[in-house]
Structure 1
Amino acid sequence: MAAAPLKFSKYHGLGNDFILVDNRHSKDPVVTPEQAAKICDRNFGVGGDGVIFALPPVGDTDFTMRIYNSDGSEPEMCGNGIRCLAKFVADVDKSAPRKYKIHTLAGLIQPELLADGQVRVDMGEPILEGPKVPTTLAPTQGSTVVKQDLVVDGRTYQVTCISMGNPHAVIYSCDGKPIKIDELRKDFATLGPKFERNAVFPARTNTEFVEVVDRSHVRMVVWERGAGATLACGTGACALVVAGILEGHVDRSKTCRVDLPGGPLQIEWRESDNHIYMTGPAELVFSGSLHA
Structure 2
Amino acid sequence: MDGESHRQHRQPRDLRFLKMHGLGNDFVILDARAGSEAMTPALARALGDRHRGVGFDQLAVIRNGAGVAAEIDFWNSDGTEADACGNATRCAARLLMAESGLAAVELRTGRGVLRAEDAGGGLTRVNMGAPVSDWRAIPLARDVDLDALPIETPLRVRPGAAGMGNPHCVFVVPDAEAVDLAALGPRVEHDPLFPRRTNVEVVQILDRETIRMRVWERGGMITLACGSGACAAAVVTARRGLTERGVTVRLDGGDLRVDWRDDGVWMTGPTALVFEGRLSHDFLAALA
TM-score by length of 2: 0.89
Q: How far did 1:213 drift?
A: 0.3
Partner of 1:283: 272
3-state SS of the aligned residue for 1:286?
Answer: strand
Aligned-residue offset at 1:3: 4.5
Quick one: which of 22, 27, 30 aligns to 1:18? 27
Q: Is 1:257 the counterpart of 2:241 in the alignment?
A: no
CA distance in 1, matches of 2:220, 2:112: 22
Query: CA offset at residue 96 of structure 1?
Result: 2.1
How far, CA to CA, are the matches of 1:82 and 1:40 in structure 2?
18
The whole-number CA distance in structure 1 between the counterparts of 2:34 and 2:224 is 32
The answer as to 2:232 corresponding to 1:239 is: yes
Note the residue ranges of structure 2 that are not aligned, 5 or more in a row.
1-9
Q: Which of 40, 46, 50 pairs up with 2:58?
A: 50
Post-superposition offset of 1:97: 4.5
Letter in 1 for 2:177: D
Corresponding position: 1:39 with 2:44? no
Q: Matched residues, percent identical?
A: 37
| Residue 282 of structure 1, CA deviation | 0.9
Deviations 1:31-82 (A, max 9, x none): 2121111112111111211221101104x21110001111111011100110
What is the CA-CA distance between 1:101 and the residue it aligns to?
0.9
Q: 1:97·1:114 contact (CA, 8 Å) conserved in 2?
A: no
Alignment partners' CA distance in 2, 1:257 and 1:237: 9
Q: How does 1:37-186 map to 2 (within 5 A)?
A: 37-58=45-66, 60-91=67-98, 93=99, 95-136=100-141, 138-140=143-145, 145-152=146-153, 155-172=155-172, 178-184=173-179
The amino acid across from 1:18 in the alignment is F
Q: Aligned pair count?
A: 272
Any idea what the Cα deviations from partners look like across 1:95-152, whole Å, max 9, x if unmatched?
Answer: 3242111111111111112332110101111111222211135433xxxx11334113
Unaligned runs of 5+ in 1: 173-177
In the alignment, residue 194 of structure 2 is paired with which amino acid? F
- CA separation in 1, counterparts of 2:50 and 2:69? 32
In 2, distance between residues paired with 1:146 and 1:51? 31
Residues 266 and 155 of structure 1, relative CA distance in 2, 3 Å threshold: closer
Give the aligned CA root-mean-square deviation in angstroms: 1.7
DSSP-derived class of the 2:257 partner: strand
CA distance in 2, matches of 1:193, 1:102: 31
Q: Match of 1:213, as an amino acid?
A: L
Letter in 1 for 2:267: M
Structure 2 Cα separation of the partners of residues 24 and 57 of structure 1: 9
Q: Give the Å deviation of 1:155.
A: 4.9
Please name the residue that 2:185 is paired with.
Answer: 192
Q: Deviations over 1:236-280 (max 9, x none)?
A: 10011110011111112xx20000111000000114x3x111000
Instruction: Determine the C-alpha separation between the residues in 1 that align with 2:160 and 2:197.
Output: 15
Aligned partners of 2:70 and 2:108 also within 8 Å: yes
Q: Provide the C-alpha distance between the structure 2 equivalents of 1:207 and 1:155, rounded to a whole number of angstroms.
A: 13
Question: Under a length normalisation based on structure 1, what TM-score does the superposition of the two structures give?
Answer: 0.88
Matched, 1:213 2:206: yes
